[in-house]
Structure 1
Amino acid sequence: MGEPTTVEGSVAEGRALLTWTHPDGRSTIVAYGMPKPIKALRALAEAASSQ
């Protein structure tokens, strides 16, 4: 899957919003140590689906 792109925060600080792009164009979005950032996750999902 490769290295993630940090969208917000930092894994080292214990809070991050990360994305991975798969070779087939699908994306994985992970909120690490963040309390359900629904708006940010929806925006990322919409952006990924429109590409």
Structure 2
Amino acid sequence: MIHSGVGIKHPLHCLVSSIGELLQRDWRCELRYVPRQRNFVADHLAKRSLTLEC
């Protein structure tokens, strides 16, 4: 999803686009899956991002 992108009407378009832009920068970055029950803060931030405008 991050590397392939999503359509402009996708509810997570803003978040996915922002992450994609950050990954294009010249730094080392690794993405890992962590179940939301084990990562409450990230889950909260992800839910909050749905209310933000690009």
TM class by shorter-chain length?
A: 0.3 to 0.5
Higher helix share: 2
Higher strand share: 1
Bigger radius of gyration, 1 or 2? 2
Q: Which has the higher contact order (CA 8 A, sep 6+)?
A: 2
**TM-score normalised by length of structure 1:** 0.34
**TM-score normalised by length of structure 2:** 0.33
